[in-house]
Amino acid sequence: MTRLVNDPAAFADEMTEGFVAAHADRVVAVPGGVARATEAPNGQVAVVIGGGSGHYPAFAGLVGPGLADGAVLGNVFASPSTQQVVSVSKNVERGGGVLLSYGNYAGDCLNFDAAQERLRDNGIQVRTVRVTDDICSASVEEITKRRGIAGDLVVFKIAGAAASRGLSLDQVTDLAQRANDRTRSIGVAFSGCTLPGASEPLFTVPEGKMAIGLGIHGEPGLDEVDLPTADQLAQLLVERLLAELPEGAGKRAAVLLNGLGTVKHEELFVTYRKISKLLEAAGVTVVGPEVGELCTSFDMAGVSLTLTWLDSELEELWLDPADSPAFRRGSVAATGERRVVLAADAFEDIAPTTDDSRATAAVLVELLDVVEATIDANVDELGRIDAIAGDGDHGIGMQRGIKAAAQAGHAAYDAGAGAGSVLTAAADAWADRAGGTSGALWGLALRRVGQRLGDIDIPNAETLAEAVHAARNAITETGGAQLGDKTLVDVLIPLDEAYRAAVGEGSDGLTAWGAAAAAGEKAATGTADLIPRTGRARTHAERSLGTPDAGAVSLSLVARAVHTTLSSTRTGR
């Protein structure tokens, strides 16, 4: 288990701080993650990688000349926020454009894609290569749905080498994409992992069994078999990878044998002994093998094998020098000035507003405080029910989000902002600090509400109905979840329908919201009858039957708390 922890909510930040202290010669902290300590040459493509924390050396350990220019570091097992991706990218961008590369997980795709749009809006050229090496996570027909695991390293390394050679953004992108197309991994697990501060593992594997294809956050695998010997495991891994050769695979391959956490170097070497013999027997020449911890999941026990089928161009790039805290090859000449870190964007100018909107804004900051108190009171329970179907971080994520949102909302209000700007500031802070899919969606929804409220008028019941509906559309269009998928959408849609119906029938806003909150609560309870259909960390999905969805419960709690507060305000408290 994970024992050395202070405040679990601060774990990822403290880890980054300690990492930077230990590797001050190679990396610097930038808002949202880390960057190489020295500037790359002007005009060079910047390679920005990232994802959730808890997979060291992915992603912080892979930053340096010949590898990534920056790594965006999310909370434990949670995607970084859009704002983090933008900040790290802006810090390392050198005029040659940015390649974003990361493992293919829903939350990461959402935030990196949103960041790509924002960066392009700022005139920066951006391309994306998602790593999809895990052959057990989807069939070869649905190859773009596959998850990214240790194959990350090869794709990042080849992208970093191509960028260091001064190639253009299109060339770097093509080479990284080609590396991904030719990379296949298979993982096995003997045990799950325990997140910092948790007393129970996030997921488990039965004692004496091995789960084939189990994902690094506990995503479902293909099969459970009896524990093999080291040689039998080598045989299984090599056979499965040789059975799915990518187009153009020759006879030369980069080989990674990755330990997921508590499998030790000695065991990896015993296993690699047989892997190297089997590959040799199959006529495969191993190029620049790596045996060690390359993409981990805390104390998860397991290994993965990765083969990247090289052509001569990829082979040269794989063998090019690189110098990062966790991966080094050859000699890299020290280049570049020590980096000057760009601060995170400060709060922008206050939009013009009115006394009417200021009065609404005052109510909004009060409501933010109420929501914060509501989440605080329910954080453990939200975590508990999320752990049944997901990765158990929902409560903590919501807490981080609303805390930041309330703080930013107060700051904006104190600076004189109107209702819309207060809510927009809160929305962006929520998305930035909460991270993960739910953080991005809550941020997006609040932002839409804020945009509809604006900074001038007092909103009436119809305006609020439009705002809620806009939030609903933003979430369903961006998140992709549908009614019945056991997500917050299962509460959001009935709530939106109930509110619009009540307003349509002539109810005042508060009464309508009471109906909406009641519909939301009923729908949240109803999610207990559902089984999740999509998303990451769904090992325990079927076991969650009988337990409501954490995101759905959050939304219904927030809706009820808002109604209770407004009712007591209206009745004069």
Question: Which of these ranges, 52-60, 100-108, 406-414, 521-529, lies near a copy of itself under the rule CB under 8 A?
Answer: 52-60
Cβ–Cβ < 8 Å for 175, 317? yes
Cβ–Cβ < 8 Å for 318, 237? no
Q: Is the dihedral of CA 216, 221, 226, 228 positive or negative?
A: negative
Nearer to a copy of itself, 14 or 462 (CB): 14
Cβ–Cβ < 8 Å for 49, 71? yes
Q: Check if 394 is active-site.
A: no
DSSP codes of every residue in 98-162: EEEEEE--HHHHHHHHHHHHHHHHTT--EEEEEE--BTTSS-GGGGGGPPP-TTHHHHHHHHHHH
What is the nearest approach in angstroms of a copy of itself to the Cβ of residue 355?
Answer: 47
User: Which H, E and C letters describe 397-426, residue by residue?
Assistant: HHHHHHHHHHHHHHHHHHCCCCHHHHHHHH
Question: Which of these ranges, 7-15, 515-523, 524-532, 534-542, lies near a copy of itself under the rule CB under 8 A?
Answer: 7-15
Q: Which helix (H) or strand (E) element contains residue 33?
A: strand 33-36
Q: Is 522 in the site for a copy of itself (CB under 8 A)?
A: no
Reduce the DSSP state of residue 479 to 3 states and report it.
helix
Between strands 46-53 and 328-329, the pairing is: unpaired
Q: Is 239 in the site for a copy of itself (CB under 8 A)?
A: no
Q: Determine phi and psi for 148, rounding to 5 degrees.
A: -100, 130
**DSSP state, 10?**
G
Nearer to a copy of itself, 270 or 388 (CB): 270
Cβ–Cβ < 8 Å for 368, 419? no
Q: Is 293 in the site for a copy of itself (CB under 8 A)?
A: yes
Binder of a copy of itself out of 257, 441, 524, 537 (CB under 8 A): 257
What is the nearest approach in angstroms of a copy of itself to the Cβ of residue 44?
Answer: 21
Q: Which helix (H) or strand (E) element contains residue 433?
A: helix 419-434
Q: Is 283 in the site for a copy of itself (CB under 8 A)?
A: no
Q: Is 262 in the site for a copy of itself (CB under 8 A)?
A: yes
Binder of a copy of itself out of 120, 145, 251, 265 (CB under 8 A): 265
Region of 518 please: left (phi>0), alpha (psi -120 to 50) or beta: alpha
Q: Which helix (H) or strand (E) element contains residue 94?
A: none
Q: Is 21 in the site for a copy of itself (CB under 8 A)?
A: yes
161, 167, 168, 172 alpha-carbon torsion, rounded to 10° = -30
**DSSP state, 256?**
E
Beta bridge pairs of residue 307: 184, 255
Reduce the DSSP state of residue 468 to 3 states and report it.
helix
What is the nearest approach in angstroms of a copy of itself to the Cβ of residue 210?
Answer: 8
Nearest to 128 by CA among 161, 104, 145, 153: 104
- Window 210 to 229, contacts with a copy of itself (CB under 8 A): 227, 229
Binder of a copy of itself out of 102, 105, 203, 272 (CB under 8 A): 272
What is the nearest approach in angstroms of a copy of itself to the Cβ of residue 229?
Answer: 5
Binding mask 324-343 for a copy of itself (x = CB under 8 A): ----x--xx-----------
Number of shown-chain residues binding a copy of itself (CB under 8 A): 54
What is the nearest approach in angstroms of a copy of itself to the Cβ of residue 508?
Answer: 51
Q: Is 2 in the site for a copy of itself (CB under 8 A)?
A: yes
Nearer to a copy of itself, 289 or 480 (CB): 289
Cβ–Cβ < 8 Å for 74, 102? no
What is the nearest approach in angstroms of a copy of itself to the Cβ of residue 277?
Answer: 8
Cβ–Cβ < 8 Å for 38, 76? no
108: tokens are: 């990461």
Q: Is 267 in the site for a copy of itself (CB under 8 A)?
A: yes
Query: Helices 509-526 & 489-504, crossing angle to 10 degrees?
Result: 150
Nearer to a copy of itself, 257 or 284 (CB): 257
Q: Is 306 in the site for a copy of itself (CB under 8 A)?
A: no
What is the nearest approach in angstroms of a copy of itself to the Cβ of residue 325?
Answer: 9
Binder of a copy of itself out of 233, 237, 398, 474 (CB under 8 A): 233
Nearer to a copy of itself, 20 or 474 (CB): 20
Q: Is 56 in the site for a copy of itself (CB under 8 A)?
A: yes
Binder of a copy of itself out of 14, 117, 223, 462 (CB under 8 A): 14
Question: Which of these ranges, 243-251, 292-300, 497-505, 562-570, lies near a copy of itself under the rule CB under 8 A?
Answer: 292-300
440: tokens are: 């991005």
Q: Determine phi and psi for 139, rounding to 5 degrees.
A: -75, 165
**DSSP state, 200?**
S
Report d(CA 400, CA 116) in Å as an integer.
24
Nearer to a copy of itself, 436 or 551 (CB): 436
Beta bridge pairs of residue 49: 71, 101
Binder of a copy of itself out of 167, 268, 404, 566 (CB under 8 A): 268
Q: Is 113 in the site for a copy of itself (CB under 8 A)?
A: no
Nearer to a copy of itself, 63 or 402 (CB): 63
What is the nearest approach in angstroms of a copy of itself to the Cβ of residue 468?
Answer: 40
The structure tokens 């999310």 sit at 74
**DSSP state, 199?**
S
What is the nearest approach in angstroms of a copy of itself to the Cβ of residue 282?
Answer: 15
What is the nearest approach in angstroms of a copy of itself to the Cβ of residue 11?
Answer: 6
Binding mask 163-192 for a copy of itself (x = CB under 8 A): ---------------------------x--
Choosing from 23, 217, 540, 563, the catalytic residue is 217
Catalytic residues: 217
Chain residues that interact with a copy of itself, rule: CB under 8 A: 2-6, 11, 14-19, 21-22, 53-54, 56-57, 61, 190, 196, 227, 229-231, 233, 257, 261-274, 276, 289-291, 293, 296, 298-299, 301, 303, 328, 331-332
